[in-house]
A and B are shown apart, each in its own frame.
Chain A
Amino acid sequence: GENVEQHPSTLSVQEGDSAVIKCTYSDSASNYFPWYKQELGKRPQLIIDIRSNVGEKKDQRIAVTLNKTAKHFSLHITETQPEDSAVYFCAAESGGGADGLTFGKGTHLIIQP
């Protein structure tokens, strides 16, 4: 089955700096890669996703890049703000999004004022 590795487990950055979280996956058939944000005590929420026919996708301060050859994808957050503090999970899925996701173990992002 699919295996998703996520790094780092904890990331501390100064407010206004950029943050990058990286994930690798094992199943070359995977074609859907979402990122979820989970604030303390709340449910995970989708922040951005990318499909295998696209190399990069941006949404305001958030971007995701995908390298299918190397089987890795990354989340980039620019101009970080205190409300970006949360746990971020990457995931991969081979059914185009209809099957269950395989998640990474999460990255705790801390924004230092």
Chain B
Amino acid sequence: DVKVTQSSRYLVKRTGEKVFLECVQDMDHENMFWYRQDPGLGLRLIYFSYDVKMKEKGDIPEGYSVSREKKERFSLILESASTNQTSMYLCASIPGTVSYEQYFGPGTRLTVT
């Protein structure tokens, strides 16, 4: 059973703080993704990664960066949090070969005040 976990379910940060969101998957998946979900906007891709130390920009990368030092862990970094980054953040991973089903984590509800 695939398990994708995220470091926090709820997070409250102040404007200007550096924020780290972590995602871990336990199935040796190659590809990992970060999305943000906002009401009426659906899910939007921020960044994704094919492999360790590899990263690709998604549709809305501005204000974010990522890190993938180990295959199982993909971190999303908000260098200087702003109120418009208040959102639900979802991590996902896929096997990349046998199946392309995206397995999502439970999400982190981030509030920036």
B104 touches A43 (CB 8 A): yes
**Interfacial chain B residues near A100, Cβ < 8 Å:** 33, 35, 45, 48, 56, 58-59
* A9-B100 Cα distance, complex, nearest whole Å: 26
Size class of A's contact patch? 20 to 34
Where chain A touches its partner, the secondary structure class is loop
Q: Is B43 among interface residues, defined by CB-CB distance under 8 A?
A: yes
Choose among A9, A98, A102 the residue that contacts B96 (Cβ–Cβ < 8 A). Answer: A98
| Binary contact readout A1-19 vs B (1 if CB under 8 angstroms, 0 otherwise) | 1000010010000000000
Q: A1-B59, A98-B96 are in contact. Are A104 and B42 (CB under 8 A)?
A: yes
Closest to B49 in A: A100
B42 touches A97 (CB 8 A): no
- Beyond A98-B50, A102-B59, 5 additional contacts (C-beta under 8 Å) are A89-B43, A98-B94, A99-B31, A100-B33, A101-B33
20 A-B pairs in the complex with CB atoms less than 8 angstroms apart: A32-B100, A36-B102, A43-B90, A43-B106, A44-B43, A44-B104, A46-B102, A49-B100, A98-B50, A99-B48, A99-B56, A100-B33, A100-B48, A101-B33, A103-B35, A103-B43, A104-B42, A105-B40, A105-B41, A105-B42
Residues of chain A having any CB pair with chain B under 8 Å: 1, 6, 9, 32, 34, 36, 43-46, 49, 89, 96-106
